[in-house]
Structure 1
Amino acid sequence: MKEDSVLKKLSRDWRVVLMVALVIFSVIAIGPHFDENGQFATNLQYGLDLQEGSWLQMEFQAEVVTVQTGQPLQEIAANLSEQLDAEVLPVGPDQIEVRMPMTEAELRPLFEQAGAEVVAVNQGVSKETAESVKRVLDEKVNSLGTKDARVNVLTGLNGITRYVRVELAGVDMETANEIVGKQGKFEIRVETTGDQTQHVLFGDSITSVSTPEKDPHYGKWGVSFTIDEAGAKAFQEAAISSNAVNDPQNHELIMYLDNETVYSAPLTVELANSLKANPVRSLTATTGTGDEGLEKAMNLEIHLRAGSLPVDVKVVGSGSVSAALGDYFKILSFLAAVLALIVVGVVIYYRYREPSIVLPMVMTTLAEILILLGIARFIQQLDLASIAGIIAVMGTGIDQLVVITDEVLHEGRVPSPSVYLKRLGRALGIIMVAASTTIIAMLPLALMDLSTLRGFAIITILGVFVGVLITRPAYGKIIMAILSK
């Protein structure tokens, strides 16, 4: 009867009910099952350490030049772009990005001729260009259906990004190189009559693509791009033959990437009138206003580049993990976690010599791990660093449960309910302070894109939140119900 009264008491406590509900949800999210080959599988996402996959680390072949000059940077960049036959863009109040590999000795005389004094030359690209590269690579791996892919850029304290790293779990090295180096088929067509369209040009006619810009007069976002002379002539001829120059509203310009429509809009009246007389090499595709217009413009920039990167990259590092080695690491990680839980249980039993205390501690820790894995299923890949984070969370969690148990069992006696709640509140306060310091310590690692310990930091922070908000208060109520028996 006493056992029944304890269970009834716990079933009425919302903290315990919440923990049990989250454990059930986590088990469903993890989804343990046997696949078609009869092998045990889950819905958890694994990193390169725990399954077959490859990684590539690439170096940007570009330079960011810090200058000192009284002339407009846009003018200097335009002159250098023409002289070097490469994209040269101002990327800051005193910085110019040269999108080709050059030494400082080669750049200094060129900038001096342009009327600018070189202050510093750093290999890499601006943060904005790096984010553009990241978007292109993200779009590329997502469009190919590649799962568990990571694209990270490493930006230094000076704001210049030199490296980008692509991790593709479940992909061999040959396929990884093909994905990163593959360029999509981009085509522009114009409507003629009905649903018929006429070819205008392919992506190889596009010579440059600008970053999204907002029209200062109308507030609309758009992407400007230029085409070569042959493409401009073909564009003019197609616009005239399709009658788009006279009736632009009924003859839209349609852009395709790998035969899928990525943009469609009629010619502007100004552009239509210009095309009647001369070819036009500079064009702007307008995408709309607000955040939606900006997002469309950013995606269109990627499509106009046909999946190619705005800056050349060079592979400076690569590696792969075989399927057999990944499975071996999975088994070792699982055994390490189970062994840690067993050792913790033995140590706790040696301390208290009371199964009614040890069992709730171990079960609460197990519940915490399940909830943590259920959350990680949606936001974090599991690699060796993440597994280490789970084991660390297990250890700190047991420490905090010991703090709660020792506090409420002060002098080895079970206190009255009112005194118990005061002691429990005091123990939870101590735990909150310890948890906040852990979170602050882990934040720098969690925010570092290329840090191999990023997974460790994220799992640790998640574990702290799960413990403080869910499992510690629930354990306090569970142990109170058991001890009062």
Structure 2
Amino acid sequence: MLDFPTWKKVWLWGLTLIAAAAALPSLLSATSVKWPDFLPDPQVNLGLDLAGGSHILLEADASQVQVQRLENMEESARSAMRNAEPRIRIGDVSTADGRLSFMLDDPADLDRARERLLPVINGNGLVREWDLSVVDGQRMILTPTQDGIETAVAQAMDSATEVVRKRIDALGTREPTIIRQGDTRIVVQVPGLQDPDQLKELLGQTAKLEFKLVDPTALPSDVEQGIAPLGSEIFPFAETSGFAGSSVAVKRLGGIRGDSLVNAQQGFDQQTNEAVVNIQFDQQGGARFATLSTENVGRAFAIILDGKVLSTPSFREPILGGSAQISGGFTVETANNLAISLRSGALPVDLSVIEERTVGPDLGADSIKRGLLAMMIGSVAVIVLMIASYGRFGVYATIALVFNVLIILGIMAGLNTTLTLPGIAGFVLTIGAAVDANVLINERIREERKRGRRVVAAVENGYKEASRAIYDANVTNFIAGVLLFLFGSGPVRGFAVVLVIGLFTSVFTAVTLTRMWVAGWLRKSRPSDISL
């Protein structure tokens, strides 16, 4: 175990120095020394409790999920009846009281209509989402079940959490904390972002994009009074559209939603040079858009974003490529934010900010100073104890401890992990526990010498026997650290990251590196006795 050929020494020293060097940019960032621009500069990210940042608590409007489900079910039911052979005619469609009901023109179609609806209302088959009942042998009523509503809300919140995560990642922020809280709330923490206005604007935008045909039969006077023709609805124009204060009537069903978008990029209109958003549909959405544009050449359609009409252009010709352009008086910044929102997907529900906090960096700086003070005091105490107890072997343990701290920082910088206040506590704990392996090894060597073994044999056997206990102890700690990371959140995960990384680096420095140093000293000095 004490045999270290040259190639192995070069490999171990190279690995150690590279990992330690990766910590230098993070250490120098706290001083006035500037890191050279031509060199890589991996940095340890600081968490919200150390660097400050924005804390926002969002709450969703769960009632929107039920409204959207009703609209989707109405469209699905109409499609199922329309595609039946022969067609099943229905009328008197109503979505009052949170349920969908419609009348069959011919009561004899009842069994066929029920057969067509069963696949639609069963959903995934795991939860019964809708109850189907028949009144007077002719009116069919679809009522959402409580289990179905709860499942839909949970799915909507999961989707909303993922959309929020994508939007924040697109801002280029590092290691944000985005977690569910309760049934309808999402906690968002973004370290380093001192101005939450941009974050609120980005997250407050639902980015629900729709393309709907303008109803040409609607009278302007009726629209101004909020009266829409049967089968249509009224939307106001956005303030940036140039028609602020007026509204337009559009067909309620039969349009295209933006959930089939695969890309959205900010660009410029080639004719007017104004900022626009270029969008691209997937294959299915592109086919639907091509069908809509082909069947309605010459007709106006409304581009609706979050319930506001951006513009009402006309289909001059069929749009077959699955691409479109959205304009509406954007600036470059607003167009880019809209592109980010559309790329990350529309929020299935509106999110409102119910709590907002801006954490300044002063508290974090104080925490860093106190953490470093605790680390220094702990390190000095450990170093004094190790050298006093084990002499030369204590010096080796001390050098290994310094490299251990540098390697942990280097690995965290290379992996772009985040250091939190509990992470500093993990550092202090690692310092105290890092020399445990050396204590076990040195005590084992001392026992071997008392049994009469020679120096080389005692050292070799001490490392060999102690390594078993060291590996067993670190495996159990590793399992605990992984579980903390998987099931914890925020501060707990920050502690787990440092703990797990520290386990690997402690074993490497305390066992492998010290063994290499001790082996080199024994070969060079060939002592007849050692002092432990």
- In which range does the TM-score fall when normalised by the shorter chain? 0.5 to 0.7
Q: Is residue 437 of structure 1 aligned with residue 476 of structure 2?
A: yes
Cα offset, 1:433, TM superposition? 0.9
CA contact (8 A) 2:208 2:347 kept: no
Cα offset, 1:395, TM superposition? 1.6
CA contact (8 A) 1:64 1:122 kept: no
Aligned to 1:266: none
CA distance in 1, matches of 2:149, 2:157: 17
Aligned to 2:189: 167
- Structure 2: stretches of 5+ with no match in the other structure: 36-40, 66-71, 78-92, 100-119, 131-139, 212-240, 242-247, 263-281, 304-311, 526-532
Aligned to 1:408: 445
- Structure 1: stretches of 5+ with no match in the other structure: 1-5, 66-73, 99-111, 189-198, 214-219, 263-298
Aligned to 2:82: none
Q: Is residue 177 of structure 1 aligned with residue 200 of structure 2?
A: yes
**Of the candidates 496, 509, 512, which is equivalent to residue 457 of structure 1?**
496
Could you say if the C-alpha distance between residues 137 and 91 of structure 1 is closer, same or farther in structure 2, counting changes exceeding 3 Å?
A: farther
CA distance in 1, matches of 2:376, 2:184: 41
Could you say if the C-alpha distance between residues 375 and 300 of structure 1 is closer, same or farther in structure 2, counting changes exceeding 3 Å?
A: same
Aligned to 1:333: 371
Could you say if the C-alpha distance between residues 81 and 430 of structure 1 is closer, same or farther in structure 2, counting changes exceeding 3 Å?
A: farther
CA contact (8 A) 2:177 2:490 kept: no
Cα offset, 1:165, TM superposition? 2.0
Q: Is residue 468 of structure 1 aligned with residue 507 of structure 2?
A: yes
Could you say if the C-alpha distance between residues 19 and 366 of structure 1 is closer, same or farther in structure 2, counting changes exceeding 3 Å?
A: farther
Q: Is residue 359 of structure 1 aligned with residue 384 of structure 2?
A: no
Aligned to 1:153: 179
The aligned amino acid for 2:404 is: E
CA distance in 2, matches of 1:343, 1:58: 46
3-state DSSP of counterpart to 2:349: coil
CA distance in 2, matches of 1:340, 1:389: 13
Matches within 5 A, 1:203-352: 208-210=257-259, 233-234=300-301, 240-241=315-316, 243-244=317-318, 248=320, 252-254=323-325, 302-303=341-342, 309-352=347-390
Could you say if the C-alpha distance between residues 35 and 385 of structure 1 is closer, same or farther in structure 2, counting changes exceeding 3 Å?
A: closer
Aligned to 1:425: 464
TM-score (norm 1): 0.63
CA distance in 2, matches of 1:81, 1:342: 77
CA distance in 2, matches of 1:117, 1:358: 69
Could you say if the C-alpha distance between residues 401 and 162 of structure 1 is closer, same or farther in structure 2, counting changes exceeding 3 Å?
A: farther
CA contact (8 A) 2:20 2:410 kept: no
Could you say if the C-alpha distance between residues 136 and 75 of structure 1 is closer, same or farther in structure 2, counting changes exceeding 3 Å?
A: closer
Q: Cα deviation per residue 1:21-56 (whole Å; 9 max; x = unaligned)?
A: 2344323453625778999x9932111111221212
CA contact (8 A) 2:430 2:502 kept: yes
Aligned to 2:407: 371
CA distance in 1, matches of 2:124, 2:332: 37
Q: Is residue 447 of structure 1 aligned with residue 486 of structure 2?
A: yes
Cα offset, 1:139, TM superposition? 3.6
CA distance in 2, matches of 1:475, 1:384: 30
CA contact (8 A) 2:55 2:359 kept: no
Could you say if the C-alpha distance between residues 346 and 481 of structure 1 is closer, same or farther in structure 2, counting changes exceeding 3 Å?
A: same
The aligned amino acid for 2:159 is: S
CA contact (8 A) 1:54 1:321 kept: yes
Q: Is residue 22 of structure 1 aligned with residue 49 of structure 2?
A: no
CA distance in 1, matches of 2:382, 2:522: 21
CA contact (8 A) 2:440 2:466 kept: yes
Cα offset, 1:455, TM superposition? 0.6
Could you say if the C-alpha distance between residues 304 and 371 of structure 1 is closer, same or farther in structure 2, counting changes exceeding 3 Å?
A: closer
Aligned to 2:105: none
Could you say if the C-alpha distance between residues 328 and 84 of structure 1 is closer, same or farther in structure 2, counting changes exceeding 3 Å?
A: farther
CA contact (8 A) 1:50 1:384 kept: yes
CA distance in 1, matches of 2:522, 2:354: 61
Cα offset, 1:77, TM superposition? 10
Q: Is residue 56 of structure 1 aligned with residue 56 of structure 2?
A: yes
CA contact (8 A) 1:152 1:164 kept: yes
- Identity of matched residues, %: 18
Q: In the comparison of the two structures, how many residue pairs are matched?
A: 390
Question: What is the RMSD computed on CA atoms of the aligned residues?
Answer: 5.2
3-state DSSP of counterpart to 1:453: helix
3-state DSSP of counterpart to 1:388: helix
TM-score (norm 2): 0.58
The aligned amino acid for 1:339 is: I
Could you say if the C-alpha distance between residues 82 and 325 of structure 1 is closer, same or farther in structure 2, counting changes exceeding 3 Å?
A: same
CA contact (8 A) 2:54 2:194 kept: yes
Aligned to 1:271: none
Aligned to 2:9: 13
Q: Cα deviation per residue 1:342-374 (whole Å; 9 max; x = unaligned)?
A: 11112223433x2x2222212211111111111
CA distance in 2, matches of 1:179, 1:113: 40
Aligned to 1:380: 417
CA contact (8 A) 1:153 1:165 kept: yes
